[in-house]
Structure 1
Amino acid sequence: MCGCVHTRARATLRAVNRSANFDARPQLAATISPLISANECADTREALAWASSVGYRGVQLSATEPGLRPRDLSNSARRDLAATLGRLELTCSGIDFFIPPAHFSDPVHVSRAFEAVEATLEFAATLGRAPVTVALGANEQCEIRHAIAAAASRLGVGVHLPVVSLDDAAAIELPFAASLDCATVLGAGGKPEELVARLGARLGSVRLVDLWRSGLRGAILEPRESRLDALALRVALEIAGFTASPLVDARQWSNPRRGLEQVLQRWNALIPA
C-alpha cells in the first residue's frame, strides 16, 4: 500500500478523533480468558477491572471458561455481569465458543454441542446481542449449521465463523459473518489487510494478533519478530467502514497482560492524535 494512501487515511482518522463525543480510548477489545489462564488475574471480575483500567473499550468472553459457562450462570449472575460491564464502561465485543470442530459432526457429540451453542447464543442475547464465534468451518454444510442459524436468527445474535481466504467466505450469509484471525491468515501465506478489503460487509470480526517470525502468536509490531503490517490493516479497516472493535487475541501468548498493554499503545501510536 503506497505512502500517500497511508497519509490520507491518517488525516481522516485524525479528523474523526477530533469529532464531538469522541472516546479517547483506542477502539479495541481484549480477550480476558488468557489473563486468568496465566494466573495474571484471579478471576473474571478482576480481569474485567484490569481491562477497563488500562483503556480497553470492550472484552471478549469465553463460554468455555469456568465461571462463564452459560449452563452455570443463573439469571441473577448474568444480570450482575451485565451491570459490572456497564459500571466499568466496557462492552462485550463477543463470546468465544471453542470446542473441537469434530464435535459438530460426530454423532456422539453433536447433540450436546448444539445445546451448548444455543445456550451461548441465549447468553449473548442478554449482553447486547454480542456475536458468538464458533469453530465451525465457514464452508461446512451440515445439519447443525442450519440449526445454529435458526437459533441465532430467532435470538437476533450473529455467529462468526473463522475464515482464512476469500473462498472460505463464499457460503457466508446472515446470521453468519467472517471472523479473520490475522496470525492464521499470515500462516497460510495471506495478507490480512487484503482479505479485509475483499471480504467487505461479510467481515464480522478481526482478531488482532501477529504471527512472529519465530512461529509464535504474539503482540503486533514486536521488534525483530513482527510480520503483520499493522498500519495497512488499520487503514484497510477504516476504508472498509468496519465499525466493530478489533479484538486483541492474547490466547497462547507467553505474557498476555504485558502483550495486551503493548498492543493498546502500539495500535494507538499508528495514528497520532
Structure 2
Amino acid sequence: MSHAVPLPAHTWPQLEPGWVWLCGAGPGDPGLLTLHAVNALRQANVVIYDALVQEAILEWAPQAEHIYAGKRGGKPSAKQRDISLRLVDLARAGKRVLRLKGGDPFVFGRGGEEAQTLVQHGIPIRIIPGISAGIGGLAYAGIPVTHRDVNQSVTFVTGHDQSGNATGSLDWQAISKGSQVIVIYMGMKHIAHITRQLIDAGRSLSEPVAVVCTATTPEQQVLETTLGTIVDDIATSGLEPPAIICVGQSVLMRQVLDWQGMAEGQAPRDLDPLGRGRPAESA
C-alpha cells in the first residue's frame, strides 16, 4: 500500500510564542479543514474554540489546552470582549494561541472584532480563512449558490443584529430586487420576520427555499419548502439551529445534485429542474 509523500516542512508557517492565529474550522466536517488550519492545530498550545467546532477537529491538537468560548445563539457564552481580552492575555503569557471559529472567521464570525482588539494591544496575528457554511453547507446539500441558468448575484445576510433582534438595518427591498439568490445565516429565530420582508418586497410565495441544519455533519438535515410555507414547515419539522437558509431558484438544483442522497442509492428527482431544456454538455 502506497503512502502519500508529506509536504516539505519549510512550506508551513510557524506559530510562534506570543502570536494569535484566527482560524476558520469550516462548517463542521473535519475533512473541510484547510492545510493551514491543520498546521495551526498541530502547533498550538492553547486552542480557544466556538460551539460549532466539532470535537473531532480538536483531536488534531492533543498537545494543547482546549478552552471553550461558546458563541452559540441562545446558549451560554462568554462576552465577546472577554474572549478578545483573554486572547491578549494568553499571547502576552507567551502562549502559541489558536482562536478556532466555525466557518470562516470573517464571515459573520466576529473575527474582525477579535483581530482588531489584538492589533490594538500589539499582539501579532495571522488570519486563516475557512470554508463558510453559506457555501460549503449548501454544497453538501446539493445547492450551488451560483448557477449560470439561475443567478449572476448572491447576497449573504445575517438574520439578527448584535442584540439578537431581527436585523433592522438591512434594506430588504434592495436585497430582494438586486439578488436572485439570498443566503441567510442565523435566520431561524426570526424567519417569520424575514419572510414577511421578502414577500412584501416582491418575492413570490412559491419561491423555493432550503433550510440546511447542522450542515456537513452526519446529523445534517435539509428542509425544502417555499417562502409561503417555510414558517409552518419549520414549526412542524422540529428542526433546530444552526442552520443556513437559501432563497432562490438555485434551491431547485438539489433535485438533481443531491450527491449524498445519490450515494445512498437515490435517483435524481428531476434532470432538468429549472425547465430550461439546455443539455448539460452544451456550451
Q: TM-score, normalised by structure 1?
A: 0.30
Larger Rg, first or second structure (1 or 2): 2
Q: TM-score, normalised by structure 2?
A: 0.29
- The structure carrying a bigger helix percent of its residues is 1
